[in-house]
Amino acid sequence: EVGSRLHVDAILEGSVRRAGEHLRVTAQLTDVGSGFQIWSETYDRESGGIFEIQ
C-alpha cells in the first residue's frame, strides 16, 4: 500500500540491532507489485567497525 501511494516499484526496509559491542544490520528489498522479496542481507559487525558496513 505504501509503495503504491509513493508510486515506486520497490521498498527498502531494514533494522539495526545492538547487543553490547555487536551490531546487526538487516536490509530487505521488496517488489511492490508482487509483494515478493527481491533481495535481503544481514551484516554482523563489532560496533568499532560500523563504518565498514556503509
pLDDT for res 35: 92
40/21 Cα distance (integer angstroms):
23
Residues listed for the chain: 54
Tell me the pLDDT band of 12, cut-offs 50, 70 and 90: very high
Sheet holding 10-19, edge to edge: 10-19, 22-31, 37-46
Domain boundaries, the chain: 2-53
Tell me the pLDDT band of 54, cut-offs 50, 70 and 90: low
Q: What is the pLDDT of residues 18-46, one digit of tens each?
A: 998 898 999 999 999 999 999 999 999 88
Q: Would you say residue 53 has pLDDT above 80?
A: no
51/43 Cα distance (integer angstroms):
12
Rounded to two decimals, what is the model's pTM?
A: 0.73
